[in-house]
Structure formats: structure tokens, C-alpha cells
Structure 1
Amino acid sequence: MNILFVADPLEVFRIYKDTTFSMMREAQRRGHRIAACEPRHLTWRSGELVHAEVREVTLTGAEEDWFQVRQTSVRPLKDFDAVIMRKDPPFDSEYFYATHLLEQAEREGARVFNRPAALRDHPEKLAIMEFPQFVSPTLVTRSADEVRRFHEEHGEIILKPLDGMGGMGIFRVGPEGLNLGSIIETLNQQGATTIMVQRFVPEISQGDKRVLVIGGQVVPFCLARIPQGSEIRGNLAAGGKGVAQPISERDREIAETIGPRLNERGLLLIGLDVIGDCLTEINVTSPTCFQEIMQQTGFDVPAMFVDAMEEAVARDRTVL
């Protein structure tokens, strides 16, 4: 198979932990040919197919100079057997436009994972609201008064921007409400920006668990990202410590309810964030933690992903 990865520049990959790299490595191990581009390399000229300027690469197995470019070419996306959309957040206007170009490529015959329309339809923080049985009490609003009423009701709360990533912009406010007004002003910009507010889940001290679901099937291990020191954020980008562990019965219940449903909508890979028994986020853009789980448990997450991708491509060909 010929596989195109739409991702961040290869030059910025940290291959010791990068999930996209682990996908590439497993695909190449199976004999698939790898190409890569960035969203900025997508082009759609009227009356023509969606093209991309791509680099066909070979992974060298070295830590430095870990890839070699065989050739650079401009190719229609439909000429690839699979297109893997792995651009990291933020989900900004340029990401949004990229999904439209990828969706046009789908109409032309390309197979894109995760599906572009599904990426747009499942904002990573808002997506949890479809599954209220699994979430801590949550409020989505622009209203400062609504936030204050929510705080009065629940005492200890977390406030976060809807477009945040890596734990950025997350605030904890205790029952005394210290700095609540200032935090609201900072996040909702005088009512111009919608924010999310949740009842604080104290089990964060045990880790913010990343539960992976691939092709509707649950990975049996998760990565608990444990806050360090005085931090309340477990995100690895915020200094959290990643500890792989078997998923709990509650983790499995959440994942087996949500995973197959979202897989049917075209989300081959999702990452569920679970604190205690509560779902806090559904990651669809570029879920990570493959390498950490594999290194600590031996479970081959990249192989599971490539299996699911191969099966999805074969199924699409059968339908056609």
C-alpha cells in the first residue's frame, strides 16, 4: 500500500515518543510505502483533483537523520491507498480548511482516516456532551453569571477554553471562589468566547487516563498521566508523568459504549481522557500515547492501528 501522512513537519518529530512516527515505522515494517506532507501542501485547483506536494520517505532506523527522502512529487490524494490525517491541534481555521480539501479528496476516491467531516463534527471538548452518563457535571457557556451559579452549586470547579490543548488555559477554583471573576474575564473575554466549566474531580491525583479505541476496539492498557508537584494538570506537555496500566472496568464501559459508535462515523482512532470515573475529553485529531503504552506494557498499539487501517481500506475496496 501507498500511505500518505498529513502531519506536522517531519523535522520537528520527537521520534522517541511520537505516535505518528510509530505508525509510519509499523507500516514500513509491513512493506507499505510512506509519504508525508503538511496541510499547507494541499492544493485544489478548479476543475482538477485535490493534490499535495509530498515527500516519499524511507525510515532509516537511526535516531538522527531518521528519514530519507526518496523523491518529492505532486500527486492527487486519491492515488494513495490511505491518507492518515495526523496534524496536531490547534483546530484553527487552517485545520478547518484542510478538512474541506480532504473531504473533496474523499469524493474523488481518497480514503482518509480519521474522516474529515467526523473531525469537524466532534470538537474534542464538546464531544463529551453527547454522553452525559459518563461526565462530571459540566457547563458550556459564555455567561459569567452562569459560571458563578455553577460554582455556587458545585464548590470546586475547573474552567477551560474549548480550543485549548496540552493543558493550556486550565484553571481550578476552590469553594472560596478566589480569583473567579478574573479567571472568567480571562477565558471568556467579556462574554465573547464560550468556555467549559466542570465540577472538579479529585481523582486527578491518580492520573488523567488516556484510553485508546482503534477501529471500535479498546486497547487493553491506558496511560495515566499523573500531575507532578503542585500541578493539577496531568498532561504530558504540562509535566505530567505517564504510567501505563490496565484499563479499569469503568474505562472499558466508557470505551465500549463510545468507541463503536464513533467508529461508525469514520473515526478510526480516538483517545478518551478519563479522570476517575469521568470522561473529560474525546481526542480525534491526533491521539497519542502509542509508544509510552507499548514501551511499558509490550502491547503493540501501532500494529493494532495498522491492522485496523488495512482492514478499513480492504473493506472500502470490497464495497466499491
Structure 2
Amino acid sequence: MNVLFIIDPIASLKAYKDSSVAMMYALQARGHQLFITEPQHLYIRNQVFATVQAIQVRDGADLTQHDWWQYSGESIERNLADFDAVLMRKDPPFDMEYAYTCHLLAYAEKFGAKVFNKGDAILTHSEKLTITEFAQFTSPTLVTRDMKRIRAFHQEHQDVVVKPLDGMGGSGIFRLQPKEPNLGSILELLSRNGQQTIMAQRYIPDIVKGDKRILVINGQPVPYCLARIPLAGETRGNLAAGGRGVAQPLSERDWEIANTLAPQLRERGLFLVGLDVIGDYLTEVNVTSPTCFVEITEQTDFHVANFFVEQLEKVLGV
């Protein structure tokens, strides 16, 4: 297969822990050809094209260094429909340029491009808001820009977490305890004085045991999750916020959540999803560029990237 990655600049990737890089190695090991491009290189001229470049990854390379890959051809213009698979792996933030890229991908699909995850599916599944479809699995939640409502929610539940709807890596997340002296300032900052919608959720004490990332690939849950355990005194378990990743088997509740959401999300065009679960509660549904392939693979007997490629081949009939 010829597989196109739409990613951030390849030189900026932290290859030793990057899930996209793990995918590249698994794909190349099975004989598939790799291509890369960035969102700014996509364009419409009747159909959707991109300036792309073939690459190879180097077996045995030190992934902490920058020479783990090399170009294997000149940059060329290609129709996205010419590729066997197009993998959307651009990291957030999910701004308007990200949305425009998804629109281009959705348009490319009309001409035969096979995109994972589908552009329109990414557009219609906010990583924070999608949990509201599955209220049976969520902690009490409020979504609003009205600071009075958030204050009332805080008064009701006493200990809550507030966060922006477009953040990543734990950025902008605040825990508001019963006597938070900076309550007003935090709400003004996050909601931009009531001009931006945010989310509030009742605090889940089980965060001390980890914010679990459950990967779902082609409707199949990976049997291990990565519990991202916060630093001492920290509310956020995100690896980007200093959390420590510990792989562990899915619990009975994890399986219930994953098996309920998996078939529905697959039918909607979401091939790869990262479910975030704290304790017994679903907190996010990640659809842009879910991670944790490397950490789970290194700590268990389950090779996530190989499973990803096997499922991709299955869908494409390879």
C-alpha cells in the first residue's frame, strides 16, 4: 500500500514516543510505502491534491536522535485518491485551519480517497463534547459560557474541574475546590468573561490512580490501557503535564465503556479513537491524533502499531 501521513513537521516529532512514528515502522515492516505531507500543502483544484514526499524509516535507528528517517524521493503533486490510505495525524489545537483541513479531507473522500479518521467524523465529534452522548458513563457535567451557571454548579458539587473545549495535553484545566479564592478570576479567564463556552465536571477522586487512555481501533478495544498518573499535588494526569504512564489491563467497567462506544464510533467513520476514563467515568473521546501506542507496547505483550496496521489492511482488503 501507499500510505500518506498528514502530520506536523516530521523533524519536530519525538520519535521515541510518537504513535505516528510507531505506525510508520509497522507499515514499512509489512512492505508498505510511506509518504508525508502537512496540512498547508493540501489544496483543491477540482479534486484534492497535496505536495507529498516519500520517506523511509531506518531500522535500528536511535529514536532520540533526528536521523531515524530519510527522504526517498523528490516532492511531487499527488491526488489524495491515488493513495491506498490517508492517515490524518495532525495534532491539535483544533482551530479553524484544522477544521478547513478536515473539510478538504471530507471533499477528497467524495472522489475516492480513503481517509482515517474521516474528515467529517472529526469535525462532528468534539473531543470534549462527544461524552455528552453517553451520559450513563459520565460524571455530572455542565457545558456553558454563563459564569453564574458554573458558580451554581460549583456550589452544588463543591469540588469540580473546569476546562476549555479546545485544549490538549491538560492545558487550561483547573480544579475548583470548595473554598477556591480565585474562582472568579479562573472563570473569567477560561470563559473570556462569558464569551467562550467551557466545560465543568464534578471532580473524580480516582484521578490519583490515573487518567486511563483506552485505544479503540476499527471498533476493537486494545486490551490494555495506559493509566497516566499525575505528579504529586497535580490534578492532571496528561503525559504532557508530567504524568507517569503505567499500562494495565482494562477493568470490567473499561470494557463496558469501550464495547458500548466502539461499534457506534466505527460506523461514524472513526477508525482510531482514544477514550479517556478516570475511575468509572468517561471524560473525553479523542479523535484527532490519539496517542499512547508506544507506552502500551513497551509495557505489555500487545503491539499496538502492528494491530493498527492489521486492522487497516483488513478494512482495505489487503
Give the structure-1-normalised TM-score: 0.96
CA distance in 2, matches of 1:177, 1:223: 31
2:140 pairs with 1:137: yes
What residue number does 1:53 align with?
Answer: 51
For residues 14-33 of structure 1, the aligned pairs below 5 Å read: 14-33=14-33
Deviations 1:218-276 (A, max 9, x none): 10000000001211100000000000001100001000000110001000010000000
What residue number does 1:310 align with?
Answer: 313
What residue number does 1:269 align with?
Answer: 272
What residue number does 1:68 align with?
Answer: 70
Q: Counterpart of 1:28 in 2: which secondary structure?
A: helix
- Between 1:305-314 and 1:4-13, the stretch displaced more is 305-314
Instruction: State the 1:85 CA deviation.
Output: 0.3
Q: Counterpart of 1:16 in 2: which secondary structure?
A: helix
What residue number does 2:38 align with?
Answer: 38
Q: Counterpart of 1:105 in 2: which secondary structure?
A: helix
Alignment size in residue pairs: 313
For residues 150-229 of structure 1, the aligned pairs below 5 Å read: 150-229=153-232
CA distance in 2, matches of 1:174, 1:150: 12
Instruction: State the 1:298 CA deviation.
Output: 2.3
Q: Counterpart of 1:74 in 2: which secondary structure?
A: strand
Instruction: State the 1:49 CA deviation.
Output: 2.1
CA distance in 2, matches of 1:310, 1:137: 40
Query: Aligned partner of 1:30: which letter?
Result: R
Query: Aligned partner of 2:6: which letter?
Result: V
Query: Aligned partner of 1:16: which letter?
Result: Y
CA distance in 1, matches of 2:94, 2:190: 17
CA distance in 1, matches of 2:307, 2:251: 20
Q: 1:109 aligns with which of 107, 112, 125?
A: 112
What residue number does 2:283 align with?
Answer: 280
CA distance in 2, matches of 1:280, 1:50: 35
Deviations 1:281-314 (A, max 9, x none): 0000000000000000021111111111111122
Query: Aligned partner of 1:68: which letter?
Result: Q
* Percent of pairs with identical residues: 57
What residue number does 1:318 align with?
Answer: none
Q: Counterpart of 1:153 in 2: which secondary structure?
A: helix
What root-mean-square deviation, in Å, do the aligned CA atoms of Structure 1 and Structure 2 show? 0.9
> Gaps (5+ residues) in structure 1?
316-320
- Between 1:141-150 and 1:64-73, the stretch displaced more is 64-73
CA distance in 2, matches of 1:177, 1:56: 53
CA distance in 2, matches of 1:200, 1:50: 44
What residue number does 2:102 align with?
Answer: 99
Give the structure-2-normalised TM-score: 0.97
Displacement over 4 Å in runs of 4+? none
